Amino acid sequence: MQQILVTGAKHAPALAGALGYRELDEGAGLEFARQLVDEQPSVVFHLGPKSEALLGALGRVDQLRHLIVRSDLAVYGTGPRMPSILTPTSALQPASNSYERSLRRLEADVRAFAEERPSVSVTILRLAPILGDDGPLSDYLALPTIPSILGFDPRLQLLSLDDAAAALAGVIEQETEGTLDIAGSVPLYLSRIARLGGRRLRPLPEPIFRRLASLLELPDHLVDLLKYGRVVEPFNTAHTRDTVLDFYGTWKSSSIV
């Protein structure tokens, strides 16, 4: 019998909800680790940004067959020297914010764990930004006028919550190993995303945009993304346009209600 456990769900409540597996939330410090050892899960899906307690506890879970860790495409970094289409073997760009650095630490820890426990399948999922999860990017794209950086039109690949959950379920089912990029199948320029949503783009000089971004609570890694964009060779998922249209469709109807 497979026992699937989702940990760190509080860091991505919408995604955890869409997955629908049993959750074990990170308690204070070692309390969480003890609970995890007691549970003896066979599949662990970790959504959180930290891995010390998790990997420590998993060292004592003999039943463990498959560990899946959520990472983010932000791990690639972004910048003017980035290839136009990234693959899991592409070199990482110099990290320019703390989010990217913490993701790289997380991935390194998980890879070390994979070497220690060759009997466990380990999957690192690098997810594209998810639309409709009440995250900062969804809030930003839902603005009636979307501010952008003057002179830059980033290419973005966005995921819907359902697509992300479906891709994850597929990974659990097939026990896919290794590092996977999961993103919308066709990248769109930010200007087109705005047009699809019937919104106006308001380009602002970069310093002003950065100040506005801190007011909008848009984290640094998303500001960098909105300058240079990022495109990967995606996993088999829906077209970014469908995702965007659905996002704006539901946003519109819910705003009327």
Partner 1 sequence: MEELLDRLTVRDLRALAATLNVAGRSRMPKAGLVDAIAEILRDGERTSPPDPKATCRHLIRTGVRCGLPAADSKDTCVLHGGTNISDVMQPVFGRLGFDTWPALMRHLLSATYDNDPLGLDPVVAEMAWHLLNYLYRDYFRVEVEGIEHVPMAGPSVLAANHGGAALPYDGLMLPLCVANEAQAPRRVRVVGTEILNMLPTISHLYRKAGAAYATPEDAAWVLEHGHLLGVFPEGVRGFQKPASEAYQLKEFGTGFVRVAARYQAPIVPTAIIGSEEVHPTLFTSKGLARVIRMVFPEQRVEEVGVWLNPIPRPVKWQVHFLAPVTPTRSDRLSILEISEHVQTVIQHELDQMVEARSSAHGAEDGLES
H helices of the chain, in order, are: 13-19, 30-39, 52-58, 98-116, 136-141, 161-174, 190-196, 206-215, 220-228, 240-256
Out of 112, 175, 189, 252, point to the residue binding partner 1 (CB under 8 A). Answer: 189
Closer by beta carbon to partner 1, 58 or else 183: 183
Closer by beta carbon to partner 1, 19 or else 122: 19
Give the whole-angstrom CA distance, residue 162 versus residue 159: 8
Out of 54, 187, 222, 235, point to the residue binding partner 1 (CB under 8 A). Answer: 187
15 touches partner 1 (CB under 8 A)? no
23 touches partner 1 (CB under 8 A)? no
14 touches partner 1 (CB under 8 A)? no
Query: Any idea which residue has 């995890």 for tokens?
Result: 36
Bridge partner residues of 35 (DSSP): none
Give the whole-angstrom CA distance, residue 123 versus residue 171: 8
Closer by beta carbon to partner 1, 73 or else 122: 73
151 touches partner 1 (CB under 8 A)? yes
Contact residues for 22 (Cβ-Cβ < 8 A; gap 6+): 3, 4, 5, 6
Please report, as a single letter, which amino acid is at residue 103.
Answer: L
20 touches partner 1 (CB under 8 A)? no
Stretch that binds partner 1, among 31-39, 75-83, 112-120, 216-224 (CB under 8 A): 75-83
Query: Any idea which residue has 């909800």 for tokens?
Result: 17
**Binding to partner 1 in span 195-224, by CB under 8 A:** 195-196
Contact residues for 57 (Cβ-Cβ < 8 A; gap 6+): 32, 33, 34, 36, 37
33 touches partner 1 (CB under 8 A)? no
Cα 75 from chain centroid (whole Å): 10
Stretch that binds partner 1, among 1-9, 21-29, 107-115, 225-233 (CB under 8 A): 225-233
Out of 10, 40, 85, 211, point to the residue binding partner 1 (CB under 8 A). Answer: 85
Cα 235 from chain centroid (whole Å): 14
As a residue count, the chain comes to: 257
Nearest distance, CB of residue 247 and partner 1, angstroms: 10
Out of 50, 105, 111, 192, point to the residue binding partner 1 (CB under 8 A). Answer: 192
Interface with partner 1 by CB under 8 A: which residues? 79-87, 90, 150-155, 160, 162-163, 186-189, 192, 195-196, 228, 231, 233, 238, 241-242, 245-246, 249
